Amino acid sequence: MTRSAGNRFRTRKLSTKQSLAILRENQIDSVDDDAQRHIPQIETGVERQEEIEHHLQAAISAHQAAAVGSKESKKVFIPTPNTTELSAEQYAKLYPKKFQQPFSYIRSSATVEDCCGTSYCMSEEDDKYLAELNAAQAKANLPTITEDEFESLIELYENQIKEMQPYLTLDVNNIIGYDELAASFIADMNDNVRSVSRPIYDYWRGHKIVRTGKSIIPCLKFEQGNEKDEGDPYVCFRRREVRQVRKTRRTDAQSTDKLKKLRQDIETARGLVNDVRQREVMRKNSYKFDMQIFEQRRIVIDLKRKHGIKDSDEDLVNKPQPKRRQAEPAAPPTLRIPIRQDGKPPDADLRHLSTLRAEEEKRRLEKYNQLRKLRPLSKYPLLDVTHDTLGMHMPSATVTTPPPTKYCNVQTFYLPSPPNSAESLPSSPIEESPSENSPQVSIVQASPSKTSQDVPSFRRRVGRGGRILIDRRGRSTPTTPMDIDPVMADRMKYDHDDEDSEAQHHEIMVDPSSALQIKFRARLNTPPPDNHSITLRRQVMAGSPVLIAPGAGSPNAQMRLPNGHPPPGMTQHVIMTPNGVPGVAYPRPPLGPPGR
Amino acid sequence: MTSAPSHTAPSTPAAPSAPPENVSGEKSMATLSQLRMGVKLFVFHNNSGEHRLAEILSIDIRKDSPRYYVHYNEFNKRLDEWVTADKLDLSREVEWPRPDKPTKKTEKKGKASKAEPAKDGRPQKRPKVSRESVGPVTPKAPGPRQRRGTIGTDDGLVIQSEDIGEGSPEDMDIDDDEAVAEETPAGRTKTAKADGEFRQPEGFSKENEIEKLRTSGSMTQSAHEISRVRNLSRIQMGKFELEPWYFSPYPVEYTQADMVYICEFCLSYFDSPRRFERHRGKCNLMHPPGNEIYRDQNVSFFEIDGRRQRTWCRNLCLLSKCFLDHKTLYYDVDPFLFYCMAVRDESGYHLIGYFSKEKESAENYNVACILTLPQYQRHGYGKLLIAFSYELTKREAKLGSPEKPLSDLGLLSYRAYWQDTIVDILLDWKGGDLTIDELSNCSAMTTQDIIHTLQNLNMLKYYKGQHVIVLTDAILAQKERQRERQRAKGGFRTLNPENLIWKPPVFSAASRTWNW
């Protein structure tokens, strides 16, 4: 007792990973049956109601008996209903021995429908009817039909009615008449069949009505979609419900994308097919032309014969077409670089950027010269610097620091104003500008040049990016009233809303040929102001309280001193306009009035 | 010869399996005219030569005398048969069907049927047109005459429901039986009227019948009852004539035929010899319509995709349903592959048996249904089929087991195969100790099946604190006898894996979604 209890305690559950010794019965002496219980009982897999069935139990116990070594090894079978065999002749009649075994394994995908011919098969009743019909036909000296024709005709009716009246079973008396039913295929029938198709229709119709509209040959019952189907044991082979996928926005988007892609793919395919079509059309045309050529040559031959022309007849044969050969190397889409015949490097034919640029430059020059000839500039002592906008090659074009201004140093470029593309205007400064300053070069400043001109002129242009640029000419700088704080004044310099009030400002008359002006102009070539002044200016512009004591030796003070009056130019931003004409961009406020 | 259904509803093995004597209804003497479906009585069984307790499943009149379809207690359904009145032993008490067995059956069938097939089989697209109730039906001899004998809750009444959606007032009084009420809310009274009419002669009150109907859930049973009765009389297939064992949903018209003719190659069915003859003249199929994947001197195997050969596979399923009780044809054949075994001669490849296999089995089943046609049973073909199914599983580098439940014959066949395979491996094993996993890998059998077999053969022992496998003398003797028999027969059929030219088919996600 203790032993078995101890055993039970130690017994481990049987594991599938555990190594088990394979022993013969004589190798073990005693076995503890208790331990067997630790092996899990596994169900037989037969339904429990059936497990208790008499014959199964008998068979199982017989088997068990054999397994434990009982001597009587009588085989116990579960009885099943008997089967009987047909006679060989009967069988051979139905199944002729005509099969030839192929050497290799059979591969086949033909379906039952493919293999069985006409699906309708004649019954005994049909036989009788057909015999009568044929007899009647023969008597009337009309053609008879074969069984196969009869079957295919019935099948035709069946298929046609299925198509035309799918719900015939609901009211079989509504079955459509012969003319309507046969209309679509009567033309395809051979004469024999047509002659009997009407009586056969009546025969078939009778059957159809007996069958209440169902197929004459009984067929399987499939689900009709109503709930009754569920429990009907004759309804079989239902479609499996497709699991409804939960709809989310993401899946929606995914399917949209899929559809788009599909659409694209199909479009591509369509394009390809279209291309193929075009190719074929062209091919066809080319054959047509070939034929025409051939015909024409025949005429030529005739003509030659007629006129007795004897030559090499080269015009009668196709010459090898060099074009095609050229196209051929391009055909393989490999990236191999072809070896050149002339021994140059493979990229010798490639054009370099530098050469391109040089060419471009040359073209430009030519055009420029051409244009120059057209322009009426030659009568003026002007150097056209249109294309040399940065003044790099211009000795007289200056990039300079501005003359000392009263308060701020603004880096200003004085650039020559180009000649007008129209005939020179009377107001153009070029006309009045004294030519003695420089015999050939006249630098026209965009900013004040003419003091004598009272009326300033403006020109409005639309620049790059739609900016509106105002070119200004002949405007003098208003003087700052002395009683206002100069810093404030400077800040308020452009804060005029009213153009008229500005126009009334006192203008400083400057004589460009005066010594002062000359001196000023001479200063244009001085180097740009140092950083300090710029910083200061920034501070001023930012409105920081920088105290500037007049005459305190600050750069500003110094700058003011030499002139004693404001510099001729306003602070302005020079902007290069697309056509190379320097323009002036005002700070925002004064943008108002359009030129002239 | 073995069966495992592909889609059976979970069985409810618990209560109903108890011996009927204890739970059944009252017993009393009865006269022939009182017998009705569900009655249990002693019936003379020819083959065993004795009276056995049997249940009447259907009654029908032939040539003016009634005959009874009886199921013998503790016999398999395939032995159910039609008997004439003289076989019934009315000298003993009969057992009346219990009026109360509704819940289980209702549960089992679930929401299943509320009506059985309209006899005319008219597809009912519009429920309103076909609402008239149809008389009781037994598949053998439908017609008004049979009504005489059918009383009680189990008869095959056809009950058509009113429009459920409209919720007629009659719903109100029947909400005590929800399972049924849900399905046939309004049809009750109508039905009751209908059967009351034929029941009155037997002396039952209408009210009683309504009550019975309500409580016994006979409406859900009616469909079930139909499929309990074998519906085809005889089948001629190829060289053989056989008796079907179980119900099979061939078109209901075929149940009238004395013989259903089945073409051996395309498995099409015909109810008249002339039609069949005509068909044979046209049919040029000579082998199962798929790819041959195995061939040796005896047999060939074909692989057939249910989706591609729908008609053929449906025909095959209809045929095999005649011999497989638990097979269901509820769903279509698309998700299955069919492996068909055939023997060759001058007239073609003759189908011997087959097994179906899910294209993708969630539970690692390597067989769904397996059948050796009855005319070829007891020739060792079943074992060959099973062996082939494991051969495929080996090729797939998987383990497999047949889908449950097994039939009685299936269990015996599988046990025989398992025993054979395991004993062979053990005898050939040279490597000393062996784990069950190793056994499993060698045989492609699941470990559970192996333990089951070892245990069954009494080969698993606990010895000296360890489990051991014992090759008992009895087993060895059995093996020896078997080998002798094989020698006597001149070589036994075995498979040669080298002849299997097959790669496991792969199905894409798309085909899985859309194709079955």
B4-32 pLDDT, tens per residue? 444 433 333 333 433 444 445 688 888 88
Cα angle A36-A37-A42, degrees, rounded to a multiple of 5: 100
User: Which has more confidence, A315 or A280?
Assistant: A280
Q: Is A86 close to B469, i.e. CB distance below 8 A?
A: no
Q: Is B74 close to A53, i.e. CB distance below 8 A?
A: yes
Q: Region B470-476: what's the mean pLDDT?
A: 88
Q: Clarify whether residues B382 and B453 are in a common domain.
A: yes
Instruction: Of A29-43, A343-357, A456-470, B198-212, give the lowest mean pLDDT range.
Output: B198-212
Q: Clarify whether residues B269 and B358 are in a common domain.
A: no
Q: Region A101-123: what's the mean pLDDT?
A: 92
Please name the amino acid found at residue B334. Answer: D
Tokens of A433: 């500008």
Q: Region A143-155: what's the mean pLDDT?
A: 91
Q: Which of B322, B297, B321, B345 is nearest to B499 (CA)?
A: B297
Q: Predicted confidence band at B375 (pLDDT cuts at 50, 70, 90)?
A: very high
Q: Region B484-501: what's the mean pLDDT?
A: 84
CB proximity A522 to B under 8 Å: no
pLDDT value for B221: 41
pLDDT value for A504: 54
Q: Is the peptide bond before B185 cis (omega within 30 degrees of 0)?
A: no
Q: What percent of chain A has pLDDT over 70?
A: 56
Phi, psi of B357 (to 5 degrees): -150, 135
Instruction: Check which CATH number belongs to the domain holding B271 and give it.
Output: 3.30.60.60
B506-515 pLDDT, tens per residue? 887 666 665 5
Q: Clarify whether residues B269 and B298 are in a common domain.
A: no
Query: Has residue B347 been placed in a domain?
Result: yes
Instruction: Check which CATH number belongs to the domain holding B422 and give it.
Output: 3.40.630.30
How many structural domains is chain B composed of?
Answer: 3
Report the distance separating Cα B354 and Cα B290, nearest Å: 13
The owner of tokens 């430059």 is: A361
User: Which has more confidence, A343 or B11?
Assistant: A343
Q: Predicted confidence band at B64 (pLDDT cuts at 50, 70, 90)?
A: confident
Report the distance separating Cα B106 and Cα A340, nearest Å: 90
CB proximity B314 to A under 8 Å: yes
Query: Is the pLDDT assigned to residue B127 strictly greater than 50?
Result: no
CB A94 within 8 A of CB B282: no
The owner of tokens 């694209």 is: A264
Q: Clarify whether residues B256 and B336 are in a common domain.
A: no
Q: Clarify whether residues B272 and B292 are in a common domain.
A: no
Please name the amino acid found at residue A478. Answer: P
CB proximity A500 to B under 8 Å: no
Q: Which of A119, A112, A148, A116 is nearest to A218 (CA)?
A: A119
Q: Clarify whether residues B345 and B457 are in a common domain.
A: yes
pLDDT value for A497: 57
Q: Clarify whether residues B254 and B352 are in a common domain.
A: no
User: Which has more confidence, A561 or B415?
Assistant: B415
Q: Predicted confidence band at B438 (pLDDT cuts at 50, 70, 90)?
A: very high
User: Which has more confidence, A561 or B238?
Assistant: B238
CB B224 within 8 A of CB B248: no
Q: Clarify whether residues B256 and B347 are in a common domain.
A: no
Residue in B462, B476, B481, B500 to test binding to A, most A beta-carbons within 10 Å: B462
B376-417 pLDDT, tens per residue? 998 889 999 999 999 999 999 999 999 999 999 999 999 999
Q: Clarify whether residues B291 and B277 are in a common domain.
A: no
Query: Has residue B459 been placed in a domain?
Result: yes
Report the distance separating Cα A516 and Cα A268, nearest Å: 79
Q: Is A109 close to B411, i.e. CB distance below 8 A?
A: no
Last residue of a domain, one of B96, B126, B154: B96
What residues contact A452, with CB distance under 8 A and at least 6 apart? none
Query: Has residue B494 been placed in a domain?
Result: yes
Query: Has residue B135 been placed in a domain?
Result: no
A245-256 pLDDT, tens per residue? 667 788 888 888
List of chain A residues whose C-beta atoms are within 8 Å of the C-beta of residue B121: 214, 221, 234
CB proximity B187 to A under 8 Å: no
A487-522 pLDDT, tens per residue? 776 666 666 655 555 445 555 666 777 777 787 777
Q: Clarify whether residues B355 and B324 are in a common domain.
A: yes
Smallest CA–CA distance, residue B275 to chain A, in Å, is 5
Q: Region A41-64: what's the mean pLDDT?
A: 84
CB A145 within 8 A of CB A193: yes
Q: Predicted confidence band at A279 (pLDDT cuts at 50, 70, 90)?
A: very high
Phi, psi of B469 (to 5 degrees): -100, 125
Report the distance separating Cα A126 and Cα A128, nearest Å: 5
List of chain B residues whose C-beta atoms are within 8 Å of the C-beta of residue A231: 109, 112-116, 220, 222-224
User: Which has more confidence, A468 or B267?
Assistant: B267
User: Which has more confidence, B322 or B155?
Assistant: B322
Answer yes or no: B241 catalytic. no
Q: Region B260-279: what's the mean pLDDT?
A: 94
Q: Is the peptide bond before A338 cis (omega within 30 degrees of 0)?
A: no
Instruction: Check which CATH number belongs to the domain holding B54 and give it.
Output: 2.30.30.140
pLDDT value for B441: 93
Query: Is the pLDDT assigned to residue A403 strictly greater than 60?
Result: no
Q: Predicted confidence band at A350 (pLDDT cuts at 50, 70, 90)?
A: low
Domain residues of chain A, as ranges?
A: 46-78, 117-211, 250-311
B78 vs A67, A80, A101: nearest CB = A80
Q: Predicted confidence band at B264 (pLDDT cuts at 50, 70, 90)?
A: very high
Q: Region A349-375: what's the mean pLDDT?
A: 84
Q: Clarify whether residues B236 and B351 are in a common domain.
A: no
Q: Clarify whether residues B474 and B337 are in a common domain.
A: yes
Domain that holds residue B280: 230-285
pLDDT value for A73: 56
Report the distance separating Cα B443 and Cα B427, nearest Å: 14
